[in-house]
Structure 1
Amino acid sequence: MSSMIADDFEPHRPRLFGLAYRLLGSAEEAEDAVQDAYLRFSSADRAHIEHPAAWLAKVVTNLCLSRLTSARARRERYVGEWLPEPVVTSDGALGPMESAEQREAVSMAMLVLLERLTPTERAVYVLREAFGYGHREIAGVLDLAEANSRQLYRRAVQRVGEGRPRFEPAPERQRELVASFLTAARDGDLAGLEKVLAADVTWTSDGGGKVSAARRAVHGRDKVGRLTLGGAERFAAGLTFTPAEINGEPGLAAWAGDTLFGTVAFEVRDGLISHVRSVLNPDKLDFVRRQLARP
């Protein structure tokens, strides 16, 4: 019986994880929410579940709404800058990444912007933008009026659109920029770094108070260049860097032996690196470490 339940549930798991991650910004909590949904599915009378995909989406969404309230309180007490848990997206963990819009939807920049929204606004926005739900479907998932769903969506679009990132259309150019950035950092080449950094570039580090990291974002080409060279001098000699697509963006995974030290994601705008986001908090690296450890 349990194997039959699992067989019925497993085809839905990737989509449910993608939904939960977009709502929570945490891969670990998304996995927990999906597992909780599985437990509810396994104990439910499935003869009365006419559309399992819709039923499960509603369960996961509401589980995430409950988690978002406590997550917001934790983030208010968070030490330093908060970034979402990184996810490798080249393996399809968050769905296809074939277009700039698909990459933008799971970028760290977008997930940080979604923190501006109330939990319900965020749910409406994600269901509409990422999963193509109509407002009647969203109203059914969230138990609200269709007109209210439309209103919440308009408000969310306005609030997110104020800082919405712009993506370059050529991923290969982005990867070339990251390779040039890494070479210049290793060589201590400040001039080389400045060639690939935008004048208003920002570096955001998330150490969560667990490891050494700048507690405020660093702005400007000169400051980010010097921060990069200082970090390379202090840490990079003992690290190995491997390329990885992090949240739809070109990135690097930094390894200290077999231990994942952190991830770095690069946002590119107008042909230059405009934002660097490094996640160093070890509590946020377990999921991406498991992804990168796969053969």
Structure 2
Amino acid sequence: MDPVADFEEHRPYLRQVAYRVLGSLSEADDAVQEAWIRLHRSDPAHVDNPRAWLTTVVARVALNQLRARQTRREQPFPDHLPDPIVRRDDAADPEYGAELADSVGLALLVVLETLAPDERLAFVLHDMFGLPFDEIAPLVERTPAAARQLASRARRRVRGAEPALRPDRGARREVVDAFLAAAREGDIEGLVAVLDPDVVLRADTGDGLRAVHGARAVAGQAAAYRSEDQVRHPVLVNGEPGVLGTLDGRPVALLAFTVVDGRITEIDILADRGRLAGLDPELLR
């Protein structure tokens, strides 16, 4: 078996690993490309398990990127939303179920951004991809027991960021539609009715990440900033129901909603025009 020839078989998996560690699609692609370069330069006879070998390379590259990012960051908390994965919300798509099972919501990725690089890597590799701690330990330059502690600390921070069971897809979309209808009407009480009392709204306009907490405050924001001119396209954002708002055919806002027990618990808004311009044009057709 030629490891180089089989690289494409492993590329989707490697991209998932890198994306969950980094929260950036472009950096994830860079990490995967670096793995390809190193594999191409290596002696195939020394690569017994291409998938494991490539995972180790991608993990090391991603960890270095995380550490470099942390040294550049001026604040101890995220200053932007992670890159979203956006696709049409097509009820007839038979691949929806498999894709949803593999998706990670923006809400979880935001929490991962608050972790130390070693904690994030240990958590992602163990809890999301099932790597044993004796394989993770050399990557973070710790013993297996210490690597286990890293993942445990991360798990305590992450707990609750991702719903254990997602409700029916149609039911989640109905809650989002009810929110949007109430926002269009400026119906504060209607908005509060579909919002969790502790709902969090995060907005990334490109000038930093701003957050609004609480149902009344979020409802007030939604009612105040409604736009009659926008065309709204139903989409899935990292597997969660979302809306892509366009103006004159150009994306101006991407909203992702987390719905738990019939109420919206988190709303993530990407309104950075530069990043929105990179979305697939097919989403608007």
Say if 1:159 and 1:132 are closer, same or farther in 2 by CA, change over 3 A. Answer: same
Distance 1:84 1:65 in 2: 16
Aligned-residue offset at 1:219: 2.0
Could you give the per-residue CA deviations for residues 85-117 of structure 1, whole angstroms, max 9, x where no partner exists?
Answer: 111377979x7423xxx55xx122211222232
1:13-71 per-residue CA deviation (whole Å, 9 max, x = no partner) reads: 11111111110111121112112222222222222211111111111111111110222
1:1-295 aligned at under 5 Å gives the runs 7-76=5-74, 81-88=79-86, 96-98=99-101, 103=103, 106-139=104-137, 141-142=139-140, 144-161=142-159, 164-166=161-163, 168-209=166-207, 216-232=210-226, 236-285=227-276, 289-290=279-280, 292-293=282-283
Once the two structures are TM-superposed, the CA of residue 202 in structure 1 deviates from its matched residue by 2.1
Aligned residues, how many? 277
Deviations 1:154-207, CA, capped at 9 Å, x for gaps: 22223333x534354333211111111122222333333222122232211011
Unpaired runs of 5+ residues, structure 1, are none
Deviation, structure 1 residue 140: 5.1
**Residue deviations 1:100-144 (CA, integer Å, cap 9, x gap):** xx55xx122211222232211111110111111122232355554
Q: 1:70 to 1:137 in 2, by over 3 A?
A: closer
Q: 1:28 to 1:286 in 2, by over 3 A?
A: farther
Q: Which has the higher contact order (CA 8 A, sep 6+)?
A: 1
CA contact (8 A) 1:13 1:34 kept: yes
- Counterpart Cα distance in 2 of 1:216 and 1:150: 33
- Structure 2 gaps, min length 5: none
Q: TM-score, normalised by structure 2?
A: 0.84
Please report the RMSD computed on the Cα atoms of aligned residues, expressed in angstroms.
3.0
Going from structure 1 to structure 2, the CA distance change for 1:294 and 1:71 (only over 3 Å counts) comes to farther
Q: TM-score, normalised by structure 1?
A: 0.82
Query: 1:143/1:48 Cα in 2 relative to 1: closer, same or farther (>3 Å)?
Result: farther
Contact kept? 2:76, 2:114, Cα under 8 Å: no
Moved over 6 A (4+): 89-93
Q: Structure 1 counterpart of 2:223, which letter? A: L
Whether the 8 Å contact between 2:15 and 2:28 is mirrored in structure 1 is yes
